[in-house]
């Protein structure tokens, strides 16, 4: 089963690659701009995988 959410660090790796992941600050900026959707599980903030896919799709179309 594919994960439904990724940690901030994992989201950075998913968007920028393992060698040059996006910074935590960049991920937080994307969430504040509404480009990435977050949700909480306990004390953890996770990024919704479907919002990452939607963001990448929108960037490709632009």
Mean pLDDT, consecutive 10-residue stretches, the chain (62 aa), reads: 95 95 96 97 96 95 86
Q: What is the pLDDT of residue 22?
A: 95
Return d(Cα 11, Cα 54) in angstroms, integer: 13
Per-residue pLDDT, 54 = 97
The first and second tokens of residue 52, run together, are 């990452």
Determine the pLDDT at residue 30.
97
Report pLDDT for 27.
97
The whole-number pLDDT of residue 56 equals 96
The pLDDT, as a whole number, for residue 62 is: 82
With residues binned 3-state (H G I as helix, E B as strand, rest as coil), the percentages for the chain, rounded to 5, are: 50, 20, 30
């Amino acid at each position: 089963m594919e994960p439904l959410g990724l940690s901030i660090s994992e989201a950075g790796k998913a968007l920028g690659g393992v060698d040059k992941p996006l910074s935590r600050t960049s991920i937080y900026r994307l969430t504040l701009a509404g480009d990435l959707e977050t949700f909480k599980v306990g004390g953890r903030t996770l990024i919704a995988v479907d919002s990452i896919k939607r963001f990448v799709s929108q960037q490709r179309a632009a």
